[in-house]
Structure 1
């Protein structure tokens, strides 16, 4: 239950967030200097989660930015001039891109190889560098910790990958998402040759994250009381702040760094217990933790976000993917506490009705029922 003290504390956070100018969370404490060479950057998408951070950082670095999207989302108040082009990749409408040239194209929203093929028809030969946002879900075997970029990717088992649409993807995300990402990567190389950068993030978190997957944890820690925790606290967790990912993408463009990279963090291993302790430091919450086994959660069909059991299973390696290559290519990370602080300030600046029901995790009622059954089984 939220106490009066918590309400006052979070009201202050929300007020602080509301008082900050647009993109106050985009830069954090790090100064931004001008790039050695200004680039003409095309961003496909640009108004979702990480796109606005890419735009802001690119402008601060002195680059020229063009956005291409459907124009369905309201654009933020950009801190500089941004060209807006509209079309619809669902219908193959890329006319606004014809006859234009850019130094770099960053493809944010694509999960369909046909989208990459269509982009290639218009942009191949007209952009010097193509950066594609993929996913660690593209790997064929997620059970082994320490996956590197050399690991095999998922195989598509459908009839015609180029006939897949957003509708067919949403209807069978579990079987199609990874294979279609892998095929989109292959199509990118086919269309744009060696001047391609493939970036494979895991869980992207921080301000502007509308999924609430990571938000569930600091939000729950802040509430206090008895808290259900999966596993024994030693399971690995990997997250990356959306701002760190966005800014690194711009730096990859500046350095013309090609190849494939796992964009996961933090820099050093993070456990479930360490994650919760970090949430305590930032939120001031002091819950008591009751650890339950992954077997119990699987039996009860409970899915907790971000957490991946370190026991054997098809996804056990997704919390321990190798990020050595990305770090070698300049990926840097904000402090964990900074990510949590900024995330919660942003979240508590949202409308009350939006905060009232998280989009991930379990409710307090569901948690209480699970804890009651767990204690009964333990004879407590």
Structure 2
């Protein structure tokens, strides 16, 4: 039985990893504060604040077949490496495609340049720093996983889940969208990502991998989300300049249209994932991910407060404004 230590394991991906590791027969320990959720039932949980003086006392000195690190804060990553790197046969660092220095090259693979870690408050630069520190400490025992957008039940970012939820809420009323032509989406189901990470660890895979979904057009994704949701209304597409003038934001966060990217940054969702597939990475059908996401959204409440997207009230006001502006622009002047 393999002994596996997950540094985390109570939040979304970490929880899924811990559950799958346990289902595969591994002896799993999760070390975390436990503030992001409950650890999976039956797993050994070590409650520890990793910013404290001696956070790893309960797990240091043991031999681990695998250690999985999910943090990106430099102090946490470096502290864990100092305490535990020598005791791990294999180390997996969950990084991000946010480490790449440019989002302007469609099909860029793992050899693309990464950010210089100058501002460690920046997520991408902090992940880049974590990669450097871990490579130095772990060497050829290291697997670096760079996921793209992750989707599925339990997503706390509300990005991918916004659309299927909004179409279900709107029913036969209109929904505001960006212009989708020329936009791309790349998404990986959290279950698929965890399955591959667990398998890669068991096989001792090393190196750097873009763990991203296959490329889809934004048009395809929205049409499929609408179909899954049983949407019978109209999608009203507003141009970028109008949305920006009306304080609608790209990609994520409050008052945004999730998954919408500025045209120069569309290659962010066009990363090469050939190495991931060659290493056994499998992806769920996008419809199945949307169905699972919708079920989760319905349980959580379609009208709940969200971290990303427009509220329905905001959206309806914007739709009224867009209709007014469009009519004004096409009305002839006597």
TM-score, length basis structure 2: 0.89
Greater relative CO, 1 or 2 (CA 8 Å, sep 6+): 1
Runs of 4+, deviation exceeding 6 Å: none
> In structure 2, the residue corresponding to 1:285 is in which secondary structure?
coil
8 Å Cα contact 2:174/2:233 also seen in 1: yes
Relative to structure 1, the CA distance from residue 309 to residue 278 in structure 2 (aligned partners, 3 Å threshold; closer, same or farther) is same
CA drift of 1:305 comes to 4.7
Question: C-alpha separation between the residues in 2 aligned to 1:305 and 1:48?
Answer: 25
Match of 2:186 among 224, 234, 238: 238
Aligned-residue Cα RMSD (Å) equals 2.0
Per the alignment, residue 321 of structure 1 pairs with 271
Distance (whole Å) between structure 2 residues aligned to residue 114 and residue 296 of structure 1: 42
Distance in 2 separating the partners of 1:263 and 1:297: 31
Deviations 1:317-349 (A, max 9, x none): 212111111111111111111111112212222
How many Å apart are 1:373 and its aligned residue? 3.2
Which structure 1 segments of 5+ residues have no match? 1-37, 162-168, 170-175
What does residue range 265-344 of structure 1 map to in structure 2 within 5 Å?
265=213, 267=214, 269-303=215-249, 304-309=256-261, 311-312=263-264, 315-344=265-294
Contact persistence 1:310–1:316 (CA under 8 A): yes
* 8 Å contact kept, 1:86–1:96: no
- Quote the residue 2:58 is aligned against: 96
Name the residue aligned to 1:106: 68
Match of 1:62 in 2: 25
Secondary structure in 2 matching 1:124: helix
Other structure's SS at 1:215 match: helix
3-state SS of 2:92 partner: strand
1:355–1:308 CA distance, 2 compared to 1 (3 A): closer
| 3-state DSSP of counterpart to 2:65 | strand
Aligned residue number for residue 263 of structure 1: 211
What stretches of structure 2 of length at least 5 have no aligned partner? 250-255
Q: 1:355 to 1:101 in 2, by over 3 A?
A: farther
Q: Measure how far apart 1:368 and its partner are.
A: 2.5
Instruction: Tell me, in whole angstroms, the C-alpha distance in 2 between the residues paired with 1:146 and 1:200.
Output: 15
Q: TM-score normalized by structure 1?
A: 0.79
1:226 aligns with 2:226: no
Is the Cα contact below 8 Å between 1:199 and 1:263 reproduced in 2? Answer: yes
